[in-house]
Amino acid sequence: MLARLQVQCRDRPGIVAAIARFLADRGANITSSAQHSTDPEGGWFFLRMEAEVAATGGAAGAGAAGGAEADALAALREAFAAEVAEPFAMEWRLAPVGERVPVALLASREDHCLLDLLWRWRRGDLPMDVVAVVSNHELVRRDVEAFGVPFHHVPVPPGGKPEAEARMLELLAGQVRLAVLARYMQILSGDFLERLGAPVINIHHSFLPAFAGADPYARARERGVKIIGATAHYVTEVLDAGPIIEQDVARVTHRDDVAHLTAIGRDIERTVLARAVAWHLDGRVLVHDDRTVVF
Amino acid sequence: MLARLQVQCRDRPGIVAAIARFLADRGANITSSAQHSTDPEGGWFFLRMEAEVAATGGAAGAGAAGGAEADALAALREAFAAEVAEPFAMEWRLAPVGERVPVALLASREDHCLLDLLWRWRRGDLPMDVVAVVSNHELVRRDVEAFGVPFHHVPVPPGGKPEAEARMLELLAGQVRLAVLARYMQILSGDFLERLGAPVINIHHSFLPAFAGADPYARARERGVKIIGATAHYVTEVLDAGPIIEQDVARVTHRDDVAHLTAIGRDIERTVLARAVAWHLDGRVLVHDDRTVVF
Amino acid sequence: MLARLQVQCRDRPGIVAAIARFLADRGANITSSAQHSTDPEGGWFFLRMEAEVAATGGAAGAGAAGGAEADALAALREAFAAEVAEPFAMEWRLAPVGERVPVALLASREDHCLLDLLWRWRRGDLPMDVVAVVSNHELVRRDVEAFGVPFHHVPVPPGGKPEAEARMLELLAGQVRLAVLARYMQILSGDFLERLGAPVINIHHSFLPAFAGADPYARARERGVKIIGATAHYVTEVLDAGPIIEQDVARVTHRDDVAHLTAIGRDIERTVLARAVAWHLDGRVLVHDDRTVVF
Amino acid sequence: MLARLQVQCRDRPGIVAAIARFLADRGANITSSAQHSTDPEGGWFFLRMEAEVAATGGAAGAGAAGGAEADALAALREAFAAEVAEPFAMEWRLAPVGERVPVALLASREDHCLLDLLWRWRRGDLPMDVVAVVSNHELVRRDVEAFGVPFHHVPVPPGGKPEAEARMLELLAGQVRLAVLARYMQILSGDFLERLGAPVINIHHSFLPAFAGADPYARARERGVKIIGATAHYVTEVLDAGPIIEQDVARVTHRDDVAHLTAIGRDIERTVLARAVAWHLDGRVLVHDDRTVVF
């Protein structure tokens, strides 16, 4: 079984050696490894590793193959917690590589990011199960249902945000391990984010921190920038201020009016969002201090 | 003689035809042309043309070749003003292509933009005469003088900006048709800009409008952006707010600390500034409403 | 009526003036113009113009609005041919801006380029009518039919290319003004191209001329390049050698195996092909001497 | 002392653990680590690590600080060879981070890559000692000597390559650990490369493998590509075929003639070459099977 380990903790000597010893003692073979330290002296340490570990668990032994893998993983986690994670006060996660994550996609009127994610998912490029698409509009229902994905229309009338968020929590809380705002144009409350209990990735249609807030393409046009962009980030309570996962840009000219900028931007948005989601699912994104480390 | 015509005015039918007729009637051959209109209905019209015009002037006839060219140009300008520019209320400029523009370069401690411009100028890539380099530090004197360019040290001690600006005006006002801030780290007053009487191009070490103001690389690091950039713009009284001529960017990662970002940024800065200066000298940049049209 | 004029001919003085006078004499307002000359002395001249022309025809006068526009355009073409195009021996085209072009899309097993074009077409970003999708596989039928577009399965068994091409000609010849190979993996014969009588745009999954031919991603991996790309070009009898319309690239690393390169490449391919098709439909691409001018 | 370890060998379980144990047993703290495997099953394994190691040697103890560091390093190497490298049949290298490498720069008529490297070196961005600049032309002598670097003119008249190479070997063999061809336009013989005994980095002015050989910009123009590039690679006996270290590209249009392409290309060439040299000096480039791994 190929397993992925993510670790972050205060940096100090011996972290890598402790992890490598732990794995070697169990016959695991490290197949991929990346680490980063903000400062070897009292900085913060990040690591992502993939290792082939034996599927025969330490604990019991009954059960099917999947059960044996799960048992092996549980035993490995228990041992890792005691022998490595606690001594170094690590935040950590150990999961099978390729594990499918249950995900919800939220959209509004624009379909480009939503369809792009659904296409990639259907092609097998994203290791996720799309358990629901939620939109505050009916427009995308038919396309979504053609993918065999449940569609939920949760309108947000003026003053109706609390009800809408409550309805979405009924649908999603406990059901998903990631929510993706595929151009969902409603601001989510801090209370919603907390009760959802899963990270939320948003795509903002500007090169943050430039043009945070509304109508970024119109404001880019007004300012006369020569390059526009898009930003995928984790959502926090502070609008457009969460940790940035990925950005990309495209060149524009004086010939591009707001409609052109918007069309050019759509291609950036969907690519940037897809990369951010893929990297998140692949365990390549670690968050600390409102910034990301992307391995 | 190859001449370049720049025009801007309120858009209305017949502008291109009027210009083309005017040139055709004088046997001129349009070799290059670009135009832009913000809106055919009541928008603003921009045009840049190059045309081969006869060097035999309309006025007298004596004088050397250069004189004949100057006479021809003067006659052409007079006729254009009366027959085309006035009826359409144009802002316009007619100049020989390749005409060398007297330029001053201003720098501080960093030499990368300055050396890059001097080197491009020496190899003949920039049609300008560098009449002076001014710096508030002595550091770059030797390099500048090795290019055979006069170097002036004009320090700016605390409280000494008025004297420094006065000294620079003595050196430059009336002597240059362009000033380039090659990482000159002093803010120029509105009064200085007005009395200089020439456009000023600055390179800002961020992707404006992101990180306007001081220490953009440190702030980019803090915000965790995945792309950094630089912006060349005309200087106005409002800091970092003038019309943008050119921008470019580079990808960065969590591994890049402020020193790395600064080093990566240097390569962007010098390239972006060089492009902006080249395009300005080539008459490709027209300014209207705090934005540029770059043909 | 907004009309678009495309012209190419041997360069000589007076071309622009002749065109501008012709249009001005008929009260047309030039709203956009771009020109290029390979060399003012005996080079080749290219022009693309958009002009607002009166919709009241010269010929008769009866008929509906559409008829009046068509009459006006026919009259304009006749006059332009006689007064401007013939004296300068121009190749030219005059067409209404936004005119919808009948197009066929050809695909094989891969759906990313095909779906991307269909989706852009559905949202109105591409001024074309997709009259048919043809594939040598059945795989994409359901998706195509969901867009309401006729799907034709034309298999190409070993030795069966002549029959397949004959079948495609029955379906398409005379019906389309453009064919797009959206990762259609069969080589089309010169005879087919001639009898189709319409330009054909292909997307090649490499940065041509690097890795022309088969398996470009595998060969890119083998050669160890750090950047991969895709190329949209007009199809000629010589494989992968037709005039290039557009290219784009993405950075890759030693970590990217052939499957990764292929996945990264898909995003480049669909964007590059979409741009090429959009520019072609917008009359921005002129071909001369196996090269393109893209305005 | 911060030391850098580079390793490559056939992949099998336990490599990382063996290295990490070795370092941990000696109190070393791994501050940075990257690894890559072409295939965990029988593939090839690459690793680059930086670790803070004690400067107090294992062997004796006398000598100055520098001597103690050298002793410590020698002892570490001896132990690593015996305990880790030999069991795994590793190719490996252990060196102090920031160690200055003696380098020769070779140039011809073009100065852009040469000056760029000298500027970066003078600014302290490249940890190297430029021990000599060699050119087959006199043109760059004055600029080079202004940097305080010895300049050697080694002309290569027709038929005189063996003598020229012999002269260069006298100057460089045993003196440098890297040679950089900063647009040196002579082909070096396999015999020269072998006798030089140091890696040689070249900058090729095309996006290899496109336009290998002579006159790439002219051929790019002829083919009508929309993007041009440059490639830094290690030199092997086969022209333009050595392992690629870095590439970059820029967009071009039909307006760019060969002179423009060449000018645009210069900016790409010098940036790409500088990156390749910096990465090489930083021990980030490992070569295997005619390809590079760049950490």
Burial tier of D228 (Cβ tally within 10 Å: 0-12, 13-18, 19+): buried
ipTM of this complex prediction, to 2 decimal places:
0.93
Q: Is B53 an interface residue toward C (CB < 8 Å)?
A: no
- Cα separation, C173 vs C194, in Å, equals 10
Mutate to test the interface with C, among D37, D47, D207 (most CBs of C within 10 A): D207
Q: Which chains touch A (3 or more CB pairs under 8 A)?
A: B, C, D
What mean pLDDT is reported for chain D?
Answer: 94
pLDDT mean over B228-247: 96
Of C10-14, C78-82, C286-290, D180-184, the range with the lowest mean pLDDT is: C10-14
Asked if D206 and D229 count as a contact pair (C-beta separation under 8 A), the reply is yes
Q: Is D14 an interface residue toward A (CB < 8 Å)?
A: yes
> Do A224 and B294 make contact, defined as CB atoms within 8 angstroms?
no
Select from C209, C291, C293 the Cβ nearest to the Cβ of D210.
C209
What are the Cα distances from residue C71, in Å, to A26, C29, C53, D117? 84, 19, 12, 66
Q: Is B293 an interface residue toward A (CB < 8 Å)?
A: yes
Is C61's pLDDT higher than 80? Answer: no
Confidence at A60, pLDDT banded by 50, 70, 90: very low
Select from A112, A119, A125 the Cβ nearest to the Cβ of C115.
A119
Is A62's pLDDT higher than 70? Answer: no
User: B226: which chain A residues are within 8 Å (Cβ-Cβ)?
Assistant: 244-247, 294
So what's the pLDDT on residue A65?
54
Select from C16, C29, C40 the Cβ nearest to the Cβ of B20.
C16
CA-based nearest distance B190→chain C, Å: 37
Helix (H) or strand (E) holding C170: helix C161-172
Of A6-20, C154-168, C186-200, the range with the lowest mean pLDDT is: A6-20
Asked if C271 and C245 count as a contact pair (C-beta separation under 8 A), the reply is no
Select from B209, B226, B245 the Cβ nearest to the Cβ of A247.
B226
What are the Cα distances from residue C107, in Å, to A196, C119, C152, C185? 42, 15, 10, 7
Of A59-73, C159-173, D212-226, the range with the lowest mean pLDDT is: A59-73
So what's the pLDDT on residue A29?
86
CA-based nearest distance C30→chain B, Å: 7
Mutate to test the interface with A, among C111, C113, C119, C147 (most CBs of A within 10 A): C119
Q: What are C178-210's pLDDT values in tens digits?
A: 999 999 999 999 999 999 999 999 999 999 999
| Residues facing B291 on adjacent strands | B288
So what's the pLDDT on residue C56?
62
Confidence at C57, pLDDT banded by 50, 70, 90: very low
Asked if A200 and A232 count as a contact pair (C-beta separation under 8 A), the reply is no
> Do C20 and B23 make contact, defined as CB atoms within 8 angstroms?
no
- Cα separation, C24 vs C51, in Å, equals 10
Q: Is the dihedral of CA B203, B206, B210, B211 positive or negative?
A: negative
Structure tokens at A166: 């409550």
So what's the pLDDT on residue B62?
46
pTM: 0.95
CA-based nearest distance A18→chain D, Å: 8
Q: What are D266-278's pLDDT values in tens digits?
A: 999 999 999 999 9
- Cα separation, A274 vs A264, in Å, equals 16
Select from B123, B146, B263 the Cβ nearest to the Cβ of D125.
B263
Confidence at C215, pLDDT banded by 50, 70, 90: very high
| Residues facing D294 on adjacent strands | D285
- Cα separation, A216 vs A204, in Å, equals 9
Confidence at D31, pLDDT banded by 50, 70, 90: confident
Q: Please name which of D39, D40, D41, D19 lies closest in space to residue D30, comparing C-alpha atoms.
A: D19
How is domain D101-294 classified at the CATH fold level?
Answer: Rossmann fold (3.40.50)
Confidence at B63, pLDDT banded by 50, 70, 90: very low
> Do A211 and B211 make contact, defined as CB atoms within 8 angstroms?
no
Q: What are B5-14's pLDDT values in tens digits?
A: 999 999 988 8
So what's the pLDDT on residue D68?
85
CATH number listed for the domain at residues A2-96 = 3.30.70.260
CA-based nearest distance B197→chain D, Å: 32
For A293, list phi and psi in degrees, rounded to 5: -110, 120
CA-based nearest distance B83→chain A, Å: 29
Q: Which chains touch C (3 or more CB pairs under 8 A)?
A: A, B, D
- Cα separation, A76 vs B205, in Å, equals 49
Select from B17, B27, B32 the Cβ nearest to the Cβ of C35.
B32
Q: What are D196-251's pLDDT values in tens digits?
A: 999 999 999 999 999 999 999 999 999 999 999 999 999 999 989 999 999 999 99
> Do D29 and A12 make contact, defined as CB atoms within 8 angstroms?
yes
Select from C227, C247, C254 the Cβ nearest to the Cβ of D226.
C247
Q: Which of A11, A116, A240, A256 is catalytic?
A: A240
Q: Please name which of A184, A34, B35 lies closest in space to residue D30, comparing C-alpha atoms.
A: A34
Instruction: Count CB neighbours of A271 within 10 A.
Output: 22
Assign D50 to helix, strand or coil: strand
User: C216: which chain D residues are within 8 Å (Cβ-Cβ)?
Assistant: none
Select from D16, D23, D52 the Cβ nearest to the Cβ of A33.
D16
Mutate to test the interface with A, among D19, D33, D49, D227 (most CBs of A within 10 A): D33
> Do C254 and D290 make contact, defined as CB atoms within 8 angstroms?
no
User: A20: which chain D residues are within 8 Å (Cβ-Cβ)?
Assistant: 16-17, 19-21
Assign C264 to helix, strand or coil: helix
- Strand ranges inside chain A, DSSP E: 2-10, 29-37, 44-52, 91-96, 101-107, 128-135, 151-153, 178-181, 200-204, 227-234, 244-251, 285-288, 291-294
pLDDT mean over D58-85: 79
What are the Cα distances from residue A59, in Å, to A72, A74, A75, A77, A79? 7, 9, 6, 12, 11
Would you list the DSSP string of C49-77?
EEEE--SS-SS---S-HHHHHHHHHHHHH
> Do D17 and A40 make contact, defined as CB atoms within 8 angstroms?
no
Q: Which of D11, D71, D240, D256 is catalytic?
A: D240
pLDDT mean over A99-113: 97
So what's the pLDDT on residue A14?
86
Q: What are A181-213's pLDDT values in tens digits?
A: 999 999 999 999 999 999 999 999 999 999 999
Burial tier of B159 (Cβ tally within 10 Å: 0-12, 13-18, 19+): exposed
Mutate to test the interface with C, among A31, A118, A123 (most CBs of C within 10 A): A123
> Do B24 and C36 make contact, defined as CB atoms within 8 angstroms?
no
Confidence at A58, pLDDT banded by 50, 70, 90: very low
Q: Is B77 an interface residue toward A (CB < 8 Å)?
A: no
Q: Is D29 an interface residue toward A (CB < 8 Å)?
A: yes
Instruction: Count CB neighbours of B138 within 10 A.
Output: 11
Is A122's pLDDT higher than 80? Answer: yes
> Do A29 and D13 make contact, defined as CB atoms within 8 angstroms?
yes
Confidence at D29, pLDDT banded by 50, 70, 90: confident
A window 215-234, beta carbon within 8 A of B: 223-227, 229
Is A61's pLDDT higher than 50? Answer: no
Q: Work out whether strand A44-52 and strand A2-10 pair parallel, antiparallel, or are unpaired.
A: antiparallel
Is residue B282 part of the annotated active site? The answer reads no
Is A157's pLDDT higher than 50? Answer: yes
Q: Which chains touch D (3 or more CB pairs under 8 A)?
A: A, B, C
Structure tokens at A274: 């897809």
Sequence-ordered list of residues with C-beta below 8 angstroms from that of A65, at least 6 positions apart, any chain: A55
Sequence-ordered list of residues with C-beta below 8 angstroms from that of C130, at least 6 positions apart, any chain: C103, C104, C105, C117, C118, C121, C147, C149
Asked if C235 and C202 count as a contact pair (C-beta separation under 8 A), the reply is yes
So what's the pLDDT on residue D64?
52
pLDDT mean over B53-63: 57
Confidence at B66, pLDDT banded by 50, 70, 90: low
* Nearest residue in chain D measured CA to CA from A53: D13
Asked if D188 and D200 count as a contact pair (C-beta separation under 8 A), the reply is yes
> Do B36 and A226 make contact, defined as CB atoms within 8 angstroms?
no
- Cα separation, A184 vs A135, in Å, equals 7
CA diameter of chain A: 69
Q: How far does CA D14 lie from the centroid of its chain?
A: 30
Q: Is A70 an interface residue toward C (CB < 8 Å)?
A: no
CA-based nearest distance C295→chain D, Å: 9
Is C62's pLDDT higher than 80? Answer: no
So what's the pLDDT on residue A64?
52
What mean pLDDT is reported for chain B?
Answer: 94
Q: Is C248 an interface residue toward D (CB < 8 Å)?
A: yes
Q: Which of C11, C71, C116, C240 is catalytic?
A: C240
DSSP designation for D81: I
So what's the pLDDT on residue C29?
86
Is D100's pLDDT higher than 50? Answer: yes
pLDDT mean over D123-133: 97
Confidence at D65, pLDDT banded by 50, 70, 90: low
So what's the pLDDT on residue C73?
92
Structure tokens at C289: 């001497």
Q: What are B180-203's pLDDT values in tens digits?
A: 999 999 999 999 999 999 999 999
* Nearest residue in chain D measured CA to CA from B33: D255
So what's the pLDDT on residue C182?
98
Q: Is C248 an interface residue toward A (CB < 8 Å)?
A: no
So what's the pLDDT on residue D270?
97
So what's the pLDDT on residue D54?
82
Burial tier of B221 (Cβ tally within 10 Å: 0-12, 13-18, 19+): buried
* Nearest residue in chain B measured CA to CA from A294: B254
Asked if B270 and B181 count as a contact pair (C-beta separation under 8 A), the reply is no
> Do B112 and D119 make contact, defined as CB atoms within 8 angstroms?
yes
Is B94's pLDDT higher than 70? Answer: yes
Q: Work out whether strand A291-294 and strand B29-37 pair parallel, antiparallel, or are unpaired.
A: unpaired
Confidence at A69, pLDDT banded by 50, 70, 90: confident
Select from D31, D35, D52 the Cβ nearest to the Cβ of A33.
D35
Q: Is D263 an interface residue toward B (CB < 8 Å)?
A: yes
Cβ contacts below 8 Å, chain B against chain D, sum to: 13
Would you list the DSSP string of A121-179?
HHTT-S-EEEEEEEESSSTTHHHHHHTT--EEE----TT-HHHHHHHHHHHHTTT-SEE
Confidence at C139, pLDDT banded by 50, 70, 90: very high
Question: Domain locations in chain C?
Answer: 2-96, 101-294
Q: What are B202-236's pLDDT values in tens digits?
A: 999 999 999 999 999 999 999 999 999 999 999 99
> Do A31 and D14 make contact, defined as CB atoms within 8 angstroms?
no
